[in-house]
Structure formats: C-alpha cells, structure tokens
Structure 1
Amino acid sequence: MAATLSMADIARLAHVQRPVVSMWRQRAVPGAPFPTPRADGRFSAGDVLTYLSATGRGNNPDPELTSDLTVASSSATDPADRGDLLTLLAARAVLGADALAETDVEDLLDDVEALDPDDEWLFSEVEGADVERLARTADAVADNSYSPAEAYEQLLAADPDPSGLTAPLVDLLAELTAALLGEDSKLVDVAGTATGTALRLAADESLTPPAILLARDLPSDRATARRTPLRATLRRYRVHRCEVGTVAMEDDWDLPAGSVILARVPDHTDPARADPAQSDPDHTDSAHTDSVQAAPATAEAFGLIDDLTLQMGPGTTALVLGPASILIDELPDALVGQRDAFLRRGLVRAAVRLPAGLLRGGGGEHLALWLLAEGDSRHLWAGDLSGRSLDAATSQQLLDDVVAVARSERQRAFSILHRAEAAKVIALSQSLVALDVSPADPLPVSAADDAARMAELLALLAEPMPDPLSGLRPEASDAGGGGHGSALSATLGDLARKRLVRIISGYRLPRLPAGTLQMWTAEAVATHLPAGVDLLALTTAIPGAALTAPDDLVFTSTGTPHAVVDAGGGSVVAYPARILRVSPTASCSPRAIAATINELRPGTGIGKWRSWQVPLVSGSRREVEDVMTRIQAWEDQTRTRLAQIGELRRLATRSVTSGAVRFAAADCTHPEPAPVDEKGQ
C-alpha cells in the first residue's frame, strides 16, 4: 500500500476542514515547512506526520495513531486492498484475536471455517485475501481504534454507497422502529436494505436487542451464493456481534405480534438493476431510458410490497422506504392501479414524502415512507416534507405522528400528517399528498354553544392566578460555595451504577380502551398531559403491571428529551417512556432532574441518557423539592392558561371568522334587554 495522502486525507487526519490545510501550505511555520508534494500531487504520510508533530497543528492530539486508517481510507489505496483489509478486520472482530500478524494463515482459515462452516459470509473472503501482506496494517488499524468493529465501520465509510441513507434518516427510522417493536417480537431486514437501522438499534444500550431476521432470496447454486451482496450484510452483522437468523422471501416468517418489517423498494436509477445497453448514452437518450425502466421498477416495487403484506399478521407493522416517484407521486394510468390496490385493502396507514437530499450521493431525489399495518381502511394519513430539512424538530414531529397513526391514537393534534379519505384518493388517482386532506368537523356545533364556551373561557382567564411562592423570597447563601458555577453534578449513568437512581422501562402496550387510570406515553410526557386507560384492560394485557411511585420521574430519550414528575404516582408508563426513580438516600431532586432534561437540546436522544449531566443537591433536599414544587405549580397554572387561550383561539377561528359569533362591547353599568319586534324576534 502506498503510504501517501492527498490534501483531503491530511484534513481528515488532522481533524480540520480542507481549506485549513491549504492555509497551512501558504503560512509556513519557521523551521517546519509544509511537506513537498510528489509528482502526482500527493504527500508522503511520514512527512505529514513529522510536520503535524513538529507544528502541533490540527485537532488530532495523536495523528500517528490514526494514520494507518487514513492511508487505508485514501482514494489512492487499491480498492482490492481495502476490501481485503475489511475482511481481515471482520475476521479479527468475530474471532476476538489480538493480532492477525502473529497468527498462521492456515490456523486463521481453520478458525474462520469453524465459525462459517457453510461459507455463507466470511470464509471465501479470508481465503482470497493477501493475509501475509496486509495483516500488520489491519492490526494497526484495529489497535488504534476503539474496537475492530469501529475500525471496520470507519474503513467501510471510505467507499460510501451513493444510494445509502444519511445519518438523520437512519436515526429517524431507528427511533420509529424502536417505538413500534413489541415485547418478544422480531425485526425483519428485507434483503439487507435496513442493516444500518438495525445496527443503530442494536447499539442502543438502553434497549433490549431485537431478534433480527434477514429475509433474502435463496441463491440458485453455491457459486451464486458466494457472489451475493448479502454475504457482506451478514458479515457486517457478525462484526457487531449481532445474532441474525436468515429466512427465504417465499417462506413463512411466522412473525409474532409487535414485529416490524423494514424494507426499501428499488428505484429504476439503481445501477444494479440497469440494463447496460439502456444505460449507455450511445444506445438511447435518457428520457427514453426513464420511460423504459420506470414501469418494471414500479412493478417490482409493488411486487415486493405485496410479498411483505402476505407476511403481516395482527399487530405487525412494516416501514417501507422508496422513491417518492413510485410511492407518492402521480403515476401513469397503467401503473396507478397497482398502488391503489394497497389503498383499497387499507394497508397503507401513512404515506410521507420526505425532504430531498437524504441519500449519501446527494441530489434532489425525494424519498417516501409508507407505514403498513391493519387499521382504518377508510382513511390515509399523508404528509409532505418537500422544502423542509429533516432536522431534529421535524424528525420528532414525524416520529410522533407516525407512531400515533400506528397506535390509532385519534385524540391528538398532528403536526405533519393529515387525514384523507382513501376513496377520494383512489378516485382522483393523483399524488397521495396533492389533495386538501384536512378533515371536516364531524360534529356541527351551534353558534350559541361556541359563544357560551368562549364566555366561560373569558371568565376563567379573567380570574387572578394565585402565587405559589407568596411569602417567600430568594436570598443569597454562603452554603453554595460562591455561586451557581460550582454546583455539583453527575451523569445519570454514574448515578444508576451507584444505585442512587433506578431506570425502569415502560411497558409495550397494545391499543387499550380509555379509562380513569393515568398513563404516561411519550406524547403525554412531552405535553405534561397524561392519558387515561382502562384498568381492567391493562391488567388483562399486562398482569401485575407495576405503577409509578409518588415523585417518580417519567422521561423520554427519543428525539427531543422530555421529563415530568408524577407527583401522585399510581400511573402506568408506556414505552418508549421510562421511569427514573430516585433513591431516598440520594442527594438528587427529581424535579431538578426533570427541569434539566427538559432543557436538553434536540437530538440528545436515543441511547444517550446515561451521559446526561444532572444536578446534585448540596443542601437540604426537602427544601429544594419544596421550591421546585412551587415553581412547578406556576408552570402548571401557566400551561392551563395557555390551553384555555388555545381553545379560545380555535373557537374564534371557527365561529368569529364565519360571522356566526361576534364580540360586542359590553355595557355593565346599564344593561338593557335587546329590543323585540312585533313577531317576538
């Protein structure tokens, strides 16, 4: 391997942006000139390391440790060598070996064969690798990384798949899947198209690792099996120590309730599907190519989705990702009937056009997401995120909406999805998001009712708010050690390890009828408004379900973190919400912890709660709790007022704008009855 680096490689090695390296070349350090490039414009890796060590430039404290990985990831490295390095890193990861260079090649093959006796994912690759030449490089890359698995992923990222998904979309799919998975269920990765999402879930220490199934087409012979790209998928799972079962697409998957199927349908621009003759510009123009390929691609996509629906039973959901041109946009008459068939069967519960730019290769293509599940066949929930970015706030809104649709939660305000009549969508054969899908008010309300309710709200808003902190005033104290900057804190992970707090996962509950038992869902925690569930239905679904204790903290870590203190206790908590129970001997305030969690930025979520810094109480815990409880009372009053104002605004929007209700000036000093004409009107 040529130990040379490009300017971009140097930037990655030094942990800086590419223009910074150009500035280094222009602004030399006395006694340490920038390395001289070779004839091909690249730089000796040794010279670069000497320069960085002498100047101290860059943000990498020890660039020599990561130089082997940088060289291996460089575009100048032979792709075949990089492939062999990936193979050797995989072997080291699955074998737990300390050094490949110290292992005899035949012994290495024997060890790999013992793990892969049927040669399904690794043996042929190790057998064909140049082990003797590359073993030391593989060892250096692994030794200077957190783990061989991390080194494998970093080297794999050197040749990114242009059709791969960006991190924000993978995170969204992982959080959606985590919210939809039930107890003792399975996660199905169809044809290896959702491996990144599955690994994202497996890496979350706060979740029980899901049972993963890899659904694939069985190869016709052994030679074909050795060439299938699913070998790399299985290898990647094994590198991360994920036990994965395999199942043929045509077999019965026997999925329990709560299972989730993840699939991505093909696009006609996928180079793996393209006919070389059609993709050659000397044979045909691009417009003709698109028209020729679009129909087979659409038929193949809907054929795959149809196969998935045959595997779905009660309580099973599927998340299908694909081009918006197939799943959302208007289709030709010859193809639209295939999509309408799924709408008629009531399997498409939600359809969303996603923002552009969610593929690693860039471009303006829009992807779309379908939620498939049994449910209300009369309605479709549709949303369009065109022109928006998939930032943390948008991801959280979409996550909440899709989960609510999957759980048939109607009594909530949707942020992105809107309900459409399925029959209307089918009849017009247009884009699934092109319609005015705002549902009409199902229950007509009289103007008198609206006027009476608005008068009631105005009276409530006019009442003075009591002061929970009346009679108290803040005073500086020497006990704090000189200011808030010296306040003590600890991570939740440390507190949990010391048994000062206890984290209890919420229950994966089926859809239950409403009732009087208080229930904290993820949405309820975010809004501080608990839902209600029927106690008998709960005990039937979850016998012996444990409830919260007084002053338990309930929190969520997906998307934007939220927390609330359940002062009275006696509530059931639904996954993905969790309970944080503070030990009576801990110097911690549940309400102070909740306030800290609610201040965390979006994206601090899935799997990160162990690293959250929370305050410790250096004085009287009872005094802190008393103050925080009083402040919470202020917040609760304010939240109630805001809810009343929101209701007043909605009523005014409906009735005042239409002229059904008007606000007349009140004359409280000389009220007179309204004049009555001869007809009594």
Structure 2
Amino acid sequence: MMAKTASPRLLTLPDIAALAGVQRAVVSMWRNRTSVRGAVVPFPAAVDVVGKVEHFALDDIVAYLAATGRGKNPEAAVDAATLAAPVAAGHESAELLLSLAVLTGADLASLSPAELVTLAEEVDQNDQFLLREAREQSWHPDLPGHVDELVAASFGAEDAFARLDSGRLARGAGHRGCAPELVSLVASVTAACRDHAGTGAVLDASGDLQFDQALAPHFPAVLINDSAGVSARRLRRRAAALQWAVLPEPGSVPIVRVRSLLGMATDDALLSADDVVVSLGPGDVAVVLGPATALTDALVGSAERARAETLRPGPLATALRLPRGLWKAAHRQSSAVWVLTQGTGRTEARLADLDGVDLDLDDLAADVAQALAPLTTSGPLPTEARTYRYLRPRALDRVLAGGQLVPRGTRAVRLHTADEHLETTHSAARELERPLPPLDTSVAACHALPVVRWLSLGELVNDKRLVLRQGRRIDPAGADPRGTVHVLSADGADADLRLDPFYARDRYARATWTEPGDVVFIEKPRPRAIVDTRGGSLVATPSRILRLADSAPVGPHVLAERINRSVPGSEWRTWDVPALSRADAEALDARLAEVASYRDELLRRERALDTWASALVAGVAAGSLALPSTHQQTASAENR
C-alpha cells in the first residue's frame, strides 16, 4: 500500500507577519515592492485560496525571507513549521493533542486514532481532564504531525502552548488573545497582590489560559472549581501538562482572584466585577481586567449607579486605565485593571492612566503594593511609606461623583527641585546624543492600473466612513505646567498647554477626547492637520477632529498628508483622498507614519538643542554649571 502523502504546509499573510516579526502592513508592502538591494525578488505567489484567504507555500516563504534578508526573525526557518497548522484543523483538537504529547513524550504522527485514545487512557484514567475529549474528538489527519513539529521547534511545553494559543488555529476559534505587554502588566500587578496576601496565597485562575499560564508558575497552587464544566477540564488539562499543583478548595489560605471581563458588555462586566467583590474574604485580593468603557470611563444612568454601588464600600485599591491595542479582538478599545480587597471602608483610591507612559513594571508593582499597604503612623498624621511613580491618590467620594473614574492623563504628582539646570542639560544632551534612526525611502516602479477614483471628505462623512467632532474652547487660565492632559491644535498654537486630568474632567466633561489615530485639522487660514497617535487629549477650537471608521479608504497619516497639501481657502468637505485597496492603504499609511515619526524626531532634537542652550546659559549665570576649559576639552579629545 502506498504511503499517505502529507498535505502541503501553508501560511497566511498574518502567519508570515508573525514569522518575520513584523506588522501585517509590512508584508503587504513587500508584495508591492520587489526591489531588494538592487535586485528584483518577487514575493511568492499564493498557491491556494481558502474562504477568500490566500495561502502561501511554507518553503517558498522561508526561501524568500532568506534571499531578501527581510524581517526581524533570524530563526524564521526553524519557527515556520510551528505556524503551518493544517488549514481545516481546530484549535481545541490541537490543544488536546499537544497536551497528550507533552504528558507522554510520544510522537503522535505514527499513531492511529485508536492508539491515541489508548494513550489518553494511560494519562487520565479517572477522566478528569482529557480522556472524554480524546474519545469524542475527530481531528485533521495531518494535525498529529503538526503537533510533533510544534513540540520539536518550541522551547519547552510552555512555549509550545503559547505558540499554539497565539497562532492561526486560535484566531480561527475566535481567541484573538492579548498583547504580551498586557500579560506582563497583569502578571506584575498580580505578583504585588500575591506578596500582599502573604505566604501560601493561591491563585483563583481567570479561565483565560494566556493569563493563567503566565501566573500559575508563581503560586504554590491553582484553584479549579470542577463545577465550571468544560472550562474547568480545559484548565485541568493545562495544569497537568505544565505541572501546576491543583486545589479544589482553598482551605484557610488567602486567595488572589484574577478575572478577565474583556469582551463583555458594560452591564455584564459591572455585574461580574460586583460578584468578585462579594466573593472576597479577609486577606483576599482580586485583579479584574476589563474594558475601560465599563471600569474607568464615564458612565450614565443605571450603569453609573451600579459601578458606584460596587465601589462605595471601599474595595477599590487601584484603578489603571491602559492604552489601546492590548486586546487584539478590539484593538481600538482601551482596557483597564481594578485591584480590589474586601470592603474595608477605604476612603481613597490610587488611580493612573498609563496611556503613553514609559512603563517600568517593577515600579508599577511597587506602586500597587504601596496602594494595598496600610498607612504608616510614625508621624503626627498617617502617611504613605513611599512616593508613587505612577499612581495618584484621590478621595473616593470625588471619584464616584460622576464622570470618568480615571480621567485621561491621571498620573502621580511630580515635585520639582529649586535648581534643575544640571538635570535639564543632561536630559537634553541624552536626547541629542541618541542615534537618529534611518528612514526607509526606497520605492519601486509599479505597473498596476493607476488609481482613478478619489473621494471627498464630504462623501466620506455622509457615508459614515469619517466622523467629524468639534473642538472646545479651552481656558488657558486653567493650564497646569505639570498637567498630563495635552491640548491639541492643528496649527500648534496650544502645543505647550497642559491640564490637570481631574480639572479637565470636571471642566470639560462634555468635550470630545481624542482616540489614537484621530486626525486633528484646521481649515483656515490654511489647511493643516496632525495625527494624534497618543489619544486622551482635548482639542482647542477652531481645530476639529476627523475619526476614521474601519471602512475608511485611507489611514490617518494619508488623510493628514492630503489635508496639508490642500489649497488654502478651500472648504474642508471638498478635500479628497484616493480610494485605495486595504493592502495599499495599510502599506502607505505605515510608510507615512515612519515619515511622521522621523519628522517628530527632528523636531524633538531641535527643541532639545534649544533647551540645552537655554539651561546652559541659565546654569552658568546662576553658578550651578561650569564649562570645562579649552585645555581640558583638548586633553579629553586626545585621550579618546
């Protein structure tokens, strides 16, 4: 009998981006740009289209990356097989087989379905986590071989599961997952909660295996409630494969409960968060991750009352508003974290908006630990044992008074010393000494048909592919030089205006706050536009906001570039943009984003140079700075 021929190993465009370590738009750019260091190297052609999704031969892609040197993954040839799951396979089946392979160490490709069931009987005789599924499942015939390759190319069992849970099969099952940065942040916050709870604290797992896999190794045991059914069996399966100790009941030890409410509607998320608060016992701590729209942003009506009723007894120790893009299923939405204890009459909460912050997770964990710790009483008044780097204390009654729970830009208060000339010059010098990143200016001739269709902004607004929002008149008397809420204007007139986040929330409660990717523009005296990549800012009238829908034919940087090239005196509705394909729009916007970043870097260096020169003059005049003599400079240069 002839041996069965394995199906060809295929990759989709998202697989190729993951393999190369680049964004999806970069791969689209490679397809259109065939010139590589003076040679023409065409991107491989798709070998199959399944459900309107192009699939490419793995060997062709590996050869292309090797020939062009493109991408950021020097191990692409080894990693490729881990991404080439059979097209029609299911994530649940792959996870089951991977668990079986890790638990037994067997090569699965050589075993028949009956032999695989026998293997499952050996490792799960009491049918607690795997045997039932092995008997009921039917899987793609090439899937056992893929699992063998996944195990062989991974750095241990944890890495193999992480690759599976972030790959195409997981995406196909609707598991979009979270960015690694979010997993690391939740792990750091949970570690601070574990240390506060004390020795022996156990983890009440979230049920989201991406988080549980990062958290469980740092706890002596994981609570798994078998009444949870299928999800409990899946968690037990992962626990068995990764050798986590499991407890059905916590006994008398404290519990750290972790819950993910991502993807829930606002009312459901608030109800689940309230259930977590009710479940907390003395010494327990909870970390709740959910949508910022429910946990930290402004609410109205019954939702606002429900959130206030949950938090009024004082369980909230910390609330963090996180940047957008960390939850892949809704990359335009921000997430948020609550740290909760049993309601103990706490009258203050510690808050922070971490969007746009240069984050040190160790310092964040220290802040959370301080927020959970009791106040010290060594002086006449209770005080904090340390100052916060990120968190800002706020009276609970003011937090629950309505509006945003965590106003945009909420950060720790910074105290400045009387003479900062030396630090200012050093900071500016560091900015000037950083190497300037290169700008990719390469282009190639394209023989495709030219774009002949242009759409006006008026058409796009009417079709709801663009949304227009008005700016607000901002009173400069409320400016705070240490404020963290930026006020934007397209012409830069308010570039230095900052507001305190709580003042901004109260004073401009009904204003539109920007989201990352918004285009801020002005019509007169000449068209000007900027892209707000940070979000969480206010816009000063007469500047206005254009917010792009997913169906917009261009990205924000292309839109801003077209506005900046519009004729002075023309009406904004007449300005136009090209109707590009999704791939071309993504690739062009990615390139213009690089141009904007390069331009911003040049402007930062110009400002740093001005700051350095100004601080130098002021410092020398004040006697706090001294310049080396010419002889010292010459000797230093010779020594170098």
TM-score, normalized by length of structure 2? 0.52
TM-superposition CA deviations, 1:360-395 (whole Å, max 9, x none): 234332322222225862422232416x235433x4
Aligned pair partner of 1:4 in 4, 10, 13 = 10
Q: 2:532 aligns to what?
A: none
Q: Secondary structure at the match of 2:393?
A: strand
The correspondence for 1:400, drawn from 350, 358, 366, is 366
1:328 lines up with 2:296 in the alignment: yes
1:590-601 pair list within 5 angstroms: none
The answer to whether residue 133 in structure 2 is matched with residue 125 in structure 1 is: yes
Distance in 1 (CA, whole Å) between partners of 2:411 and 2:214 is: 35
Identity among equivalent pairs (%):
24
Contact 1:302/1:338 (CA < 8 Å) preserved in 2? no
- Is residue 322 of structure 2 the alignment partner of residue 354 of structure 1? yes
Give the AA of the match of 1:301: S
> Which residue of the partner structure matches residue 421 of structure 1?
395
Q: Deviations over 1:172-227 (max 9, x none)?
A: 2212222332212211114x14x433422445xxxx643111347x26xxxxx4xx
Pairing 1:567-582 to 2, within 5 Å after superposition = none
**1:5-404 paired onto structure 2 within 5 Å:** 5-13=11-19, 18=27, 21-22=30-31, 25-27=34-36, 35-38=44-47, 40=49, 42-49=55-62, 64-72=77-85, 77-80=87-90, 82-97=91-106, 99-103=107-111, 105-127=113-135, 128-130=137-139, 133-158=142-167, 159-160=170-171, 164-181=177-194, 182-190=198-206, 192-193=207-208, 195-202=209-216, 209-215=219-225, 218=227, 225=229, 228-246=230-248, 253-257=250-254, 259-265=255-261, 267-269=263-265, 294-295=266-267, 297=268, 300-309=271-280, 312-313=281-282, 315-374=283-342, 377-385=345-353, 388-389=355-356, 391-393=358-360, 395-404=361-370
| CA distance in 2: counterparts of 1:78 and 1:125, whole angstroms | 19
Aligned partners of 1:165 and 1:359 also within 8 Å = yes
Q: 3-state DSSP class of the match of 1:361?
A: helix
* Conserved? CA contact 1:260–1:318, under 8 Å: yes
What is the DSSP-based 3-state SS (H/G/I as helix, E as strand, rest coil) of the residue aligned with 2:192?
A: helix
Q: 1:46 Cα shift? A: 3.9
SS of aligned partner of 1:236:
helix
Pick closer, same or farther for the CA change 1:198–1:416 going to 2, 3 Å. Answer: same
d(CA) in 2 for partners of 1:15 and 1:267? 27
Give the distance between the partners of 2:28 and 2:289, measured in 1 at CA.
37
2:257–2:286 Cα contact (<8 Å) kept: yes
The Cα of 1:108 is off from its aligned counterpart by: 3.0
Distance 2:410 2:19 in 1: 51
Q: Which deviates further from its counterpart, 54-63 or 409-418?
A: 54-63
C-alpha contact (below 8 Å) 2:203/2:258 kept by paired residues: yes
SS in 1 for 2:314: coil
> SS at 1:389's partner residue?
coil
Paired amino acid for 1:256 = V
**Contact 2:93 2:139 (8 Å CA) reproduced:** yes
Do the aligned partners of 1:174 and 1:198 also contact (CA within 8 Å) in 2? Answer: no
Return closer, same or farther for 1:390/1:357 CA change in 2, 3 Å cut-off.
farther
SS at match of 1:352: strand
For 1:36 and 1:333, the matched residues in 2 are separated by 55
What SS is found at the alignment partner of 2:97?
helix
Distance 1:435 1:54 in 2: 47
Give a deviation string over 1:23-62, Cα, whole Å, max 9, x none: 7744599899765544646443344455667777766666
Amino acid at match of 2:391: L
Aligned counterparts of 1:56 and 1:337: Cα–Cα separation in 2: 57
Q: Residue 143 of structure 1: CA displacement?
A: 1.8
- Between the aligned partners of 1:400 and 1:32, the Cα distance in structure 2 is 51
Pick closer, same or farther for the CA change 1:118–1:332 going to 2, 3 Å.
farther
Which string of whole-angstrom CA distances, capped at 9 and with x for unpartnered residues, describes residues 530-564 of structure 1?
A: xxxxxxxxxxxxxxxxxxxxxxxxxxxxxxxxxxx
User: In the aligned structure 2, how far is the partner of 1:436 from the partner of 1:356?
Assistant: 14
State how far apart, in whole Å, the 2-side matches of 1:306 and 1:62 are. 46
Q: Does 1:431 align with 2:401?
A: no
User: Residues 556-611 of structure 1, C-alpha deviation per residue, up to 9 Å, x if partnerless?
Assistant: xxxxxxxxxxxxxxxxxxxxxxxxxxxxxxxxxxxxxxxxxxxxxxxxxxxxxxxx
Q: Take 1:26 and 1:435, find their aligned partners in 2: how far apart are those partners?
A: 45
1:318 deviation in Å?
Answer: 1.4
Q: Distance in 1 between matches of 2:323 and 2:78?
A: 39
Contact 1:93-1:149 within 8 A present in 2 as well: no
Secondary structure of 2:147 counterpart:
helix
For residues 407 and 79 of structure 1, do their structure 2 counterparts lie closer, same or farther at Cα, with a shift above 3 Å needed?
same
TM-score scaled by structure 1? 0.49
Deviations along 1:331-374, one digit per CA (max 9) or x if unpaired, are 43434443333434222222233333321234332322222225
- TM-superposed CA distance for 1:171, in Å, is 1.0
Higher Cα Rg, which structure: 1
Aligned to 1:411: 385
CA distance in 2 between partners of 1:13 and 1:431 (Å): 40
SS class of match (1:419): strand
Secondary structure in 2 matching 1:399: helix
Aligned residue in 1 for 2:484: none
What whole-Å deviation, never above 9, does each CA across 1:393-437 have from its counterpart, x for those lacking one? 3x44432222101112513222333333334445x3443335999
8 Å CA contact retained: 1:121, 1:235: yes
CA displacement at 1:91 relative to structure 2: 0.8
Change in CA separation of 1:408 and 1:110 when aligned onto 2, cut-off 3 Å: same
| Residue segments in structure 2 that go unaligned for 5+ positions in a row | 1-6, 376-383, 420-640
Question: Helix, strand or coil for the counterpart of 2:84?
Answer: helix
Structure 1 distance, partners of 2:40, 2:180, is 42
Superposition CA RMSD, Å: 4.1
Give yes or no for contact 2:203–2:219 (8 Å, CA) kept in 1: no
Judge which range, 176-185 or 329-338, deviates more.
Answer: 329-338
Alpha-carbon shift at residue 90 of structure 1 (Å): 1.6
Kept in 2: contact 1:382–1:433 (CA 8 A): no
Per-residue displacement from partner, 1:69-118 (whole Å, max 9, x unpaired)? 23218xxx1243x5433322221012222x12344543432331243345
CA distance in 2, matches of 1:439, 1:330: 21
Q: Is the 8 Å Cα contact of residues 317 and 339 (structure 2) preserved in structure 1?
A: yes
> Displacement, 1:242?
1.8
Any conservation in 1 of the 2:270–2:307 contact (CA below 8 Å)?
A: no
CA contact (8 A) 1:379 1:419 kept: no
Q: Could you tell me how far 1:260 is from its partner in structure 2? A: 1.5
Q: Deviations over 1:623-650 (max 9, x none)?
A: xxxxxxxxxxxxxxxxxxxxxxxxxxxx
